[in-house]
Amino acid sequence: MTAPTVPAGTSLPPLPHWEEIPADLPDATRQIKAALRARIAASGRTVEEVFAVVERRIEAEVADIAATRTRGESVWPVIDYADIEAGTVTAEQMQALHRRGCLIVRGHFPREQAVAWDRDIVDYTERNGFFDAYRGPGDDFFGSVGSKPEIYPIYWSAAQMQARQSDRMARVQAFLNAQWKHESEGVRWFEPDRDSLYPDRIRRRPPGTDSGGLGTHLDPGTLDLWMTKAYQQAFRHLFDGTVEEYDPWDAAHRTDGPQYPGTTMCSAFRTFQGWTALSDMDHDQGVLHTVPIPAAMAYLMLRPLLPDVPDDDMGGVTINRVFPVSERWHPLLLKAVTGIPDVRAGDSVWWHCDMIHSVAPVENQKGWGNVMYIPAAPWCPRNERYSTSVREALLTGASPADFPAEHYEQSWPDRFRQSDLNITGRRGLGLN
C-alpha cells in the first residue's frame, strides 16, 4: 500500500497542546484524542485504517522474531566491540540492529576491567559507610526493592566516571547515535559524536535473590508524548494519516521540547538506554527483556485512539508513573518479549529509547547481577540544559536532579572530582 500524502495547501486541523501538565487530565485527554482523530480523518483515512497498517507491520515483525527463535538464532543482535572499533561491522549486522533496535556489545570492556570496577564500587561504598547510612529507597516505583539496596543511588564513583568518559564508551555511543537521523528540516537535532554524560546509578543483585522483576513498560515519557507541541511534531506521521512515513529513528523535534516532570522522568534525550555488565549473567537469571520492535511505538501511540478505549483514558498511561504495556491493550506486542542472551562482565546492553522492556522475575538467582547504567545521550539542547545541574552535582557530590535527593556521596572524600575529568568528560559536561 502506498502512503497517502497530505495535498499541498491542505491545512490540518490544529491540535491543542499543553507545555505543562494540564490541570484537568481527563479533560485534556478527551480533547487531544478527539483532535487527533479529527486530524487523522482529515487525511481521508480512519483511525482504524491507520492502526491496521501499523498492526500489519508489527505482525510481520512478531512473526519474524518467532521464526528467528525457532531457528535457534539470537533475536538480540550481537556485535563485537573490536568490530565497532575497527569499522568492520557487517551490513547484515547493521540491518539487524536497525530492525531490532537493541544490541549486545561483546567485550565492550575487558572482563578484568569490569570486574575490577565492580570491586572498586563495593570498596568505595563500604569505605564510606554507605550501608549504615542507607535509609531505604526513595524511588521504589515498582515496590520490588527490599531493605538492602539493589539499586545503589551512587553516581560519582571513580569506576562509573572512568567508564562514562572512556574512549570505548564514546566510540560505542557514537556508533549507536549514528543509527538515528540527526539532521533534517535544516536543523541539527543532536551531535552524534558527543555524549552528554548522563549520570545514573548502579545495580548490584546478589546470588540467592528472589525478585519479582519489573513489568513491561517504556521510559520516554507519559502523556506529554501526545500533549506537547514538540512530541506532536515528532510523531507527526502517526497523527496525520501518513503512518507509512513514521520512522522511529528520526530525532526531529525530540531533542529540545519540554517533558512533564515526574518521579520516573529522564531529562535527557537518549538515543539508547543501556547498561554495562559488571558480572556474568545467564539469560535465565532475571535479566532484561525487550519487545525488539522500534516501530511498536506507533502501535502504543495510536492504540488509545480506537473506540474501545474510554475517551478520558490513554490506555493506562498517566503522569508520574511509568508507561505501562499490558495484555489488555497490547497483547500483540507482548508476544515478542525477548530476553538478552548470556552476557559476561564487560559486555554492554542497549535498547532504543522508545522500546518496551521488562526485567524477568527470578528465584534464588545464580551469580551476581551487577550493572552500571550508562545510556547514549548525545549533546543536544535538552541535554545541554540538563548538564548545568549535572555540573553542579559533580562539584558537590549531590544526587543528580533527575533522581531522589539522597546525596549520600556529598561527604565522601574519595569521590570523583571535576579535576579528574578527561577531555571526553569535559566535553560531556559542557566544560569546553
φ, ψ for residue 191, nearest 5 deg: -100, 105
- Closest distance to Fe ion from the beta carbon of 219 (Å): 4
DSSP state of 400: P
Given the rule CB under 5 A, which of 215-223, 298-306, 366-374, 402-410 is the region that contacts Fe ion? 215-223
- For Fe ion, the closer of residues 77 and 274 by Cβ is 274
Given the rule CB under 5 A, which of 136-144, 214-222, 229-237, 250-258 is the region that contacts Fe ion? 214-222
- For Fe ion, the closer of residues 219 and 409 by Cβ is 219
* Distances 403 to 64, 243, 265, 357 between C-alpha atoms, Å: 38, 36, 9, 20
- For Fe ion, the closer of residues 239 and 351 by Cβ is 351
- Closest distance to Fe ion from the beta carbon of 357 (Å): 6
Any alpha helices (H) in 219-352, and if so which ranges?
A: 224-227, 229-234, 236-239, 296-302, 331-334
- For Fe ion, the closer of residues 134 and 142 by Cβ is 142
Q: How far apart are CA 1 and CA 283, in angstroms?
A: 39
Cβ neighbours around 132 below 10 Å, total: 7
191, 195, 219, 354: which one binds Fe ion (CB under 5 A): 219
- For Fe ion, the closer of residues 22 and 375 by Cβ is 375
- For Fe ion, the closer of residues 195 and 219 by Cβ is 219
* Distances 124 to 118, 159, 412 between C-alpha atoms, Å: 10, 9, 9
- Closest distance to Fe ion from the beta carbon of 94 (Å): 25
- Closest distance to Fe ion from the beta carbon of 419 (Å): 33
- For Fe ion, the closer of residues 89 and 145 by Cβ is 145
Q: Which of 219, 222, 198 is nearest to 386 (CA)?
A: 198
- For Fe ion, the closer of residues 29 and 358 by Cβ is 358
The 3-state secondary structure of 4-71, one letter per residue = CCCCCCCCCCCCCCCCCCCCCHHHHHHHHHHHHHHHHHCCCCCHHHHHHHHHHHHHHHHHHHHHHHHC
- Closest distance to Fe ion from the beta carbon of 286 (Å): 15
Torsion angle (degrees, nearest 10) of CA 116, 339, 287, 333 = 130
> Is the distance from CB of 284 to CB of 389 less than 8 angstroms?
no
Given the rule CB under 5 A, which of 213-221, 250-258, 278-286, 362-370 is the region that contacts Fe ion? 213-221
Cβ neighbours around 134 below 10 Å, total: 16
- For Fe ion, the closer of residues 109 and 323 by Cβ is 323
What's the half-sphere exposure (Cβ side, CA atoms, 13 Å) at 169?
30
Q: How many degrees, rounded to 5, is the angle at CA 158 between CA 157 and CA 161?
A: 90
Return the SS3 of 2.
Answer: coil
Among positions 72-131, residues that touch Fe ion (CB under 5 A) are none
> Is the distance from CB of 259 to CB of 168 less than 8 angstroms?
no
- Closest distance to Fe ion from the beta carbon of 263 (Å): 13
Number of residues that bind Fe ion (CB under 5 A): 1
Given the rule CB under 5 A, which of 24-32, 33-41, 198-206, 216-224 is the region that contacts Fe ion? 216-224
- For Fe ion, the closer of residues 219 and 224 by Cβ is 219
Q: Cell numbers 480523518 label which residue?
A: 41
Given the rule CB under 5 A, which of 32-40, 140-148, 211-219, 279-287 is the region that contacts Fe ion? 211-219
- Closest distance to Fe ion from the beta carbon of 291 (Å): 12
- Closest distance to Fe ion from the beta carbon of 218 (Å): 7
- Closest distance to Fe ion from the beta carbon of 352 (Å): 12
Given the rule CB under 5 A, which of 5-13, 212-220, 226-234, 414-422 is the region that contacts Fe ion? 212-220
Q: How far apart are CA 322 and CA 143, in angstroms?
A: 13
Report which residue's Cβ sits closest to Fe ion: 219
- Closest distance to Fe ion from the beta carbon of 258 (Å): 21
Given the rule CB under 5 A, which of 8-16, 105-113, 205-213, 217-225 is the region that contacts Fe ion? 217-225
Judged by the rule CB under 5 A, the positions of this chain that interact with Fe ion are 219
